[in-house]
Structure 1
Amino acid sequence: MVSCITKSPQEEHTPKLDLGNIQTPLIFNPSMLNLQATIPNQFIWPDDEKPCTEAPELDVPLIDLQNFLSASSSPSATLEASRLISEACSKHGFFLVVNHGISEELISDAHECMARFYDMPPSEKQKVHRKPGESCGYASSFTGRFSTKLPWKETLSFRFCDDKNSPNTVQDYFCDALGHEFLPLGKVYQEYCEEMSSLSLKIMELLGLSLGVSRDYFREFFEENDSIMRLNYYPPCQKPDLTLGTGPHCDPTSLTILHQDHVNGLQVFVDNQWRSISPNPKAFVVNIGDTFMALSNNIYKSCLHRAVVNSQSERKSLAFFLCPKKDRVVKPPRELLDSNTPRRYPDFTWSMLLEFTQKHYRADMNTLQAFSDWLTKKPIK
């Protein structure tokens, strides 16, 4: 794990990003790399972080949203859903939602469009190359950002704004960055993100109820959200026991809504053991991120998780990361504070935490604490 603390007293409170000595970035071409006798050292993870061969299944609550989302939702259905969420979020922050109201056709289209993008030649994908310090764009294994413990994956990340003044953020991104012929992809992901945003706000209602604050509190906090959508592609790897698709980390964002394809890969660290969450085409995997952990004053947990790869099958997933409006101050509601429950984290905005993770610190299990320490010991300009 990357540490925020060094041995030098002068640098004690300077956050660290694992940049190493990046001069000529390695080109991530899995087809070529799989022809070699072994994978390059940059992709080999330390022994204590290498993937386990078998991870037992995590018992994840399955929350049926049908009654909650209906116009005539019963109080008992809402109470049961919030109880299950509270139970999961107090322990590991992961749960599944079914009967969520998102059409199977839209989900299928989103997966098909992702396949179309990743089937393009590298030179075409590089047109939307993710620049250092930025959170959006195409990245091939983050080879230009890190020098060690490289993830075996490609990602395309783009911004979604729930803002009436910018109604087509996603659609415009695809057309402006890739060309007007990508308008169909832009339309699919615009609609998908709008549906994810709407679903996120409904889940926020349940989270508010489960914490004993008003049903509308967190929903209103995340209206006009400035979120991130990410398309994850994990190619087959000849040495899946040596590398990881995504390293162990907690999401710095607020809420993640993930749809997996049919290939296993997601693992969560619970009770000192890695456990898997198998794909369920009818369900979304939802998990709490660091920003919501701060909003809940540490009552709800963001949990360490990772993605493993295999030697036979490629794997894809759709991840929507709910984030507040960038200038909105993240602090817990008064109902979660009293004389016996002090504040766990200082006030911050999402833009500050986002910049911290992009420019100063490689996200891990300690991101929020490292960020909090950094804020309280370094003047905020």
Structure 2
Amino acid sequence: MVSEPAPRHQPSHLTHSPSSAAPMDATGGIDAAAVCDLRRDPKIPEPFVWPNADARPASARELDMPVVDVAVLRNGDADGLRRAVAQVASACATHGFFQVSGHGVDAGLARAALDGASDFFRLPLAEKRRARRVPGTVSGYTSAHADRFASKLPWKETLSFGFHDHNNTPVVADYFSSTLGPDFAPMGRVYQKYCEEMKELSLTIMELLEVSLGVERGYYREFFADSSSIMRCNYYPPCPEPERTLGTGPHCDPTALTILLQDDVGGLEVLVDGEWRPVNPVPGAMVINIGDTFMALSNGRYKSCLHRAVVNQRKERRSLAFFLCPREDRVVRPPPSAATPRNYPDFTWADLMRFTQRHYRADTRTLDAFTRWLTEPAS
């Protein structure tokens, strides 16, 4: 998983206010027991209430986003490739979201991965907490991110774990067996295979992004060949007061690329032209969005976009998010052919991850705030 470099200074203007700080125990440390069983709450507790500006209703207009056939990269369809590149370029210049078909991910595997999430989140809370996330890290189970924040909590549970394919080690399968026990070995094998498929799909998408940006073929694919990525299973229980809370608050992903598999319930929304626009599930397709790390790799030509997830009163919702990340110590910089001047300094993914985990709640200003954090002299 993401390794943590030595601590560095934290400028005062980036310090969280007490209202958004993680709960503390009597010793001043993070209260690891601060988790909630959302299915037992008949009303929205106060920490889950979001400001009206964040929780305002969505537009009736669905997000205008293409469904791009990525199979054209392999089947020799030159016209199809030109069409796919144009679709990606248009989407990424507008809001950074598109869907992909022809990805080759087995439908049975995708269904098993979604069902595995259901099986895990329906476990008793005591069993889920065997995988409880250690504060300051990414891997593990959390309910409503209550280990990090005390206000504007999301109405969801998550299970996150790291993935890489260095040395052909089955890191995901090993995580499930070692953390949850041998009974979870079959689930671990499902997610191991799913992450392997997501890694290959992410490299295919990088090829499309290379062509659309006019970057040397293979540059981005090679950059992420030894990636250390994050897999997250999301569970959004039915909510008694969905208009007062959010499943995931407005944010931009700090990672490079997100591949999202939704079930058929829907809930993802993207902010475009001041309106929250829904992204309705397309059977067999996966949702792709640009994150801050790729925004830096493209020198700002492709931008990450604010998005959120809403909940509803009647149905549970599941989604699987694969976050493509560089190797922790790899230096993030645009290719030599990128336009100058540079918009962002060189940085490592480990530094950006630690910044968003410990010092800053990701939003549209993350890269700018991170740049100041990197460049300001230590006090």
TM over 0.5: yes
Is the 2:70–2:101 Cα contact (8 Å) retained in structure 1? yes
Query: What does residue 169 of structure 1 align with?
Result: 171
Cα offsets for 1:146-187 (capped at 9, x unmatched):
010000000000000121x25201010001101111110111
Using the alignment, how far apart are the partners of 1:378 and 1:41 within structure 2?
A: 39
Query: What does residue 355 of structure 2 align with?
Result: 356
Is the 2:58–2:278 Cα contact (8 Å) retained in structure 1? no
Is the 1:257–1:321 Cα contact (8 Å) retained in structure 2? yes
Query: What does residue 76 of structure 1 align with?
Result: 79
Query: What does residue 152 of structure 1 align with?
Result: 155
Shift of 1:269: 0.3
Query: What does residue 334 of structure 2 align with?
Result: 332
* SS of match in other structure, 1:86: helix
Shift of 1:55: 4.1
364-373 or 188-197: bigger deviation: 364-373
Shift of 1:379: 4.9
Q: Which amino acid aligns with 1:75?
A: A
Query: What does residue 342 of structure 1 align with?
Result: 341
- Decide which of 59, 62, 70 is 1:65's aligned counterpart: 70
Q: Which amino acid aligns with 2:126?
A: S
Using the alignment, how far apart are the partners of 1:196 and 1:114 within structure 2?
A: 16
Q: Which amino acid aligns with 2:40?
A: M
Using the alignment, how far apart are the partners of 2:136 and 2:273 within structure 1?
A: 34
Using the alignment, how far apart are the partners of 1:46 and 1:360 within structure 2?
A: 22
Query: What does residue 88 of structure 1 align with?
Result: 91
Q: Which amino acid aligns with 1:67?
A: V
Q: Which amino acid aligns with 2:197?
A: E
Using the alignment, how far apart are the partners of 1:58 and 1:252 within structure 2?
A: 22
Query: What does residue 193 of structure 2 align with?
Result: 191
Is the 2:73–2:81 Cα contact (8 Å) retained in structure 1? yes
Residues 1:333 and 1:249: Cα distance change in structure 2 (over 3 Å): same
Query: What does residue 61 of structure 2 align with?
Result: 56
Is the 2:261–2:319 Cα contact (8 Å) retained in structure 1? yes
Query: What does residue 16 of structure 1 align with?
Result: 16
Aligned: 1:221 with 2:223: yes
Q: Which amino acid aligns with 1:321?
A: F
Shift of 1:364: 1.6
Residues 1:240 and 1:13: Cα distance change in structure 2 (over 3 Å): closer
Q: Which amino acid aligns with 1:228?
A: I
Aligned: 1:33 with 2:35: no
- Decide which of 204, 210, 213 is 2:212's aligned counterpart: 210
Q: TM-score, normalised by structure 1?
A: 0.91
How many residues are treated as equivalent by the alignment? 362
Using the alignment, how far apart are the partners of 2:310 and 2:223 within structure 1?
A: 34
| 1:113-128 mapped onto 2 (5 Å cutoff) | 113-128=116-131
Is the 1:13–1:374 Cα contact (8 Å) retained in structure 2? no
* SS of match in other structure, 1:113: helix
| 1:237-276 mapped onto 2 (5 Å cutoff) | 237-276=239-278
Residues 1:15 and 1:293: Cα distance change in structure 2 (over 3 Å): farther
RMSD of aligned C-alpha atoms? Answer: 1.7
Residues 1:81 and 1:378: Cα distance change in structure 2 (over 3 Å): farther
Shift of 1:196: 0.3
Using the alignment, how far apart are the partners of 2:163 and 2:22 within structure 1?
A: 32
Query: What does residue 304 of structure 1 align with?
Result: 306
Q: TM-score, normalised by structure 2?
A: 0.92
Q: Which amino acid aligns with 1:291?
A: T
Shift of 1:74: 2.7
Is the 1:22–1:146 Cα contact (8 Å) retained in structure 2? no
Query: What does residue 369 of structure 1 align with?
Result: 368
* SS of match in other structure, 1:336: coil
Query: What does residue 322 of structure 1 align with?
Result: 324
* SS of match in other structure, 2:322: strand
Using the alignment, how far apart are the partners of 2:320 and 2:198 within structure 1?
A: 11
50-59 or 20-29: bigger deviation: 20-29
Shift of 1:31: 2.3
Is the 1:262–1:279 Cα contact (8 Å) retained in structure 2? yes
Using the alignment, how far apart are the partners of 1:379 and 1:323 within structure 2?
A: 27
Shift of 1:13: 4.7
Query: What does residue 181 of structure 2 align with?
Result: 179
Q: Which amino acid aligns with 1:63?
A: V
Shift of 1:207: 0.4
* SS of match in other structure, 1:230: strand
Shift of 1:64: 1.2
Residues 1:198 and 1:31: Cα distance change in structure 2 (over 3 Å): same
Residues 1:14 and 1:312: Cα distance change in structure 2 (over 3 Å): closer
Using the alignment, how far apart are the partners of 1:124 and 1:12 within structure 2?
A: 39
Query: What does residue 3 of structure 1 align with?
Result: none
Q: Give unmatched runs, 5+ long, in structure 2.
A: 1-9, 26-30
Using the alignment, how far apart are the partners of 1:353 and 1:320 within structure 2?
A: 18
Using the alignment, how far apart are the partners of 1:97 and 1:378 within structure 2?
A: 43
Q: Give unmatched runs, 5+ long, in structure 1.
A: 1-9
* SS of match in other structure, 1:317: strand
Residues 1:351 and 1:242: Cα distance change in structure 2 (over 3 Å): same
- Decide which of 280, 283, 286 is 1:281's aligned counterpart: 283
Residues 1:39 and 1:228: Cα distance change in structure 2 (over 3 Å): same
Using the alignment, how far apart are the partners of 1:378 and 1:313 within structure 2?
A: 50
Identity of aligned residues (%): 52
Residues 1:217 and 1:379: Cα distance change in structure 2 (over 3 Å): farther
